[in-house]
Amino acid sequence: MASAAPGPAEQARAVLVASGKGGVGKSNLSLNLAIAARRLERRVLLLDADVGLGNAEILAGVSAPLHLGDVLAGRCTLEQAVVGGPGGVDLLAGGHGLGELPPVDGLRWRHVLGQLAGRRWDLVVIDGGAGVGGPVRPQLLAARELLVVTTPEPTALADAYAVIKLVAAGGQGLPPRLWVVVNQVQRAAEGQAAFARLASVCRRFLGVEPHLLGLVPHDPRVREAVQRQVPLLLAAPHSPAARAVEAMARHLLGCPPPAAGGLLAYLARLWPGRGAPPGREAAGGPVAG
């Protein structure tokens, strides 16, 4: 007897990471968010949906014989194309420098998403392409949960608004749950102000309420990690950007923050009124969430 189709409760939570403007940091965020979620004991699949232009393999330093293009073309199942990635994350590559690719239309994309149902993952992080056209459009319109990445620059914010406008008017039932990450911020206040501007126009003109998942500081360690092809969370786990992404994963998954400060905080509590130990003062710098 054929097994019953999995109900909604059995379907993996899938978060599409998108942006209007390209190069804002989606692929690095997707990879590191996936690793951070794995550290929080979730079974995670990183699905590189930027088919033909995939970066996940390069950033993760792995090579995959099969990719999303093969799944879209029906040459293999999604499960067959998945490889083990860094930090215990599973990876479905997007492929790059490929020849002819099947078009990503709504039907094919829904078929890919359908293959996630009832599988072993608790969370699927989908690294999408930039913009609102081409293969990105059906992915945006099918998303139940969308994480829009922007930088504080007005051009990136305007393009993030265009993405949110598309899904708000998607006409396919309820708009998706909307998260925003402001990446490459110089100061927390700059990132907060950028989010406030975006949220205000979304509320006023689209009637939707995005949630701030967090701010990621501009951090030279991100570029170093890319150069080394080692994910930031493994290459520089204590860097400001890595810590910000970890805090975001906690926020996304509803996990409480870790016990504050470990040994240093314990020692500070032993000497109340003396302030934080040198070098650990509240810097007023960028924060997540």
Ligand X SMILES: Nc1ncnc2c1ncn2[C@@H]1O[C@H](COP(=O)(O)OP(=O)(O)OP(=O)(O)O)[C@@H](O)[C@H]1O
What lies within 8 Å, CB to CB, of 1 at 6+ separation is none
What lies within 8 Å, CB to CB, of 219 at 6+ separation is 239, 240, 241
Q: What's the min distance (Å) between Cβ of 166 and Mg ion?
A: 19
Which region, judged by CB under 6 A, interacts with ligand X, from 1-9, 23-31, 70-78, 140-148?
23-31
Among 245, 182, 190, CA closest to 211: 182
Q: What's the min distance (Å) between Cβ of 186 and ligand X?
A: 10
Is residue 55 a contact residue for ligand X (CB under 6 A)? yes
**Residues 179-218, mask of contacts with ligand X (x by CB under 6 A):** ----xx-------------------------------x-x
Strands 145-150 and 83-84: unpaired
Is residue 156 a contact residue for ligand X (CB under 6 A)? no
E strands, the chain, where? 13-19, 44-48, 83-84, 90-92, 123-130, 145-150, 177-185, 211-217
The count of residues interacting with ligand X (CB under 6 A) is 20
Is residue 239 a contact residue for ligand X (CB under 6 A)? no
Is residue 24 a contact residue for ligand X (CB under 6 A)? yes
Among 103, 100, 94, CA closest to 134: 103
What phi and psi, each to the nearest 5 degrees, are found at residue 75? -80, -20
Q: What's the min distance (Å) between Cβ of 29 and Mg ion?
A: 9
Is residue 223 a contact residue for ligand X (CB under 6 A)? yes
What residues make contact with ligand X under the rule CB under 6 A?
19, 22-28, 50, 55, 130, 183-184, 216, 218-219, 222-223, 226, 241
